[in-house]
Structure 1
Amino acid sequence: MTEEEILNNIEKQKKESECFKKGFKAGAEYKNRLESKVDKLETLLLEFTGYGDEWLLSKAKLKKTNREVLADLVINQRQLMRELYNKLDSKTKIELKKRVESCIWPIMHNED
């Protein structure tokens, strides 16, 4: 091997090392973001299943939260509800739909 080839190989190895480090860091950041999202969804699930009042956000805490965070919270809750609803059997879906409609439109269901 000539000196030029050796220098080219060393330069190539340095570039590959830098690319690997960048990719590894990006992968680690992505993993952290996914773990954070999973943790948030687990907390939401615990809130919906009534795990306990200590998991629920208090009214004071909700008032202190900015609109962007509240909007994200509502969107995540809707997503979670859809996922849970889609896992139900058809009979349970119909019963749940009736219960929800009776809460939203109580007058219409009292007339029946």
Structure 2
Amino acid sequence: MRQIIIYGLMVFAGGCNNLDVPRFNGDSAYQYLLDQCSFGPRNPGSDGHNACKDFIIDKLGNFADEILLQEFSFQEKGKDKWHNGTNIIARFNRSAVFQSLIGSHWDTRPWADQD
């Protein structure tokens, strides 16, 4: 009898969950991809690079609790040329016990090496 009561409470408690789980929208994701590609080459320092960075910050800002930017510089291998880059960090539900990390490159390499 005790097991039946425990099982019933578990079923009842599970039914009280009002979580609204977001659904993946493939059409929307594809449109974001098209938008990103419409900026043209996104090599560091270019107009396309800056436009794409602003686009990503704007879009993530609609959903994230906080946006952090990590600015950095890197030297082109074998050259005396430096480039500036930005890591865009969107934070969601910072107080959650379990966190997720999603990483992605959004820029174009400043040189072609696999043509």
Which has the larger share of helix?
Answer: 1
Higher relative contact order (CA 8 A, sep 6+): 2
Q: Greater CA radius of gyration, 1 or 2?
A: 1
Alignment TM-score > 0.5, same fold = no
TM-score class, shorter-chain normalisation, is: under 0.3
Query: What's the TM-score, normalizing by structure 1?
Result: 0.27
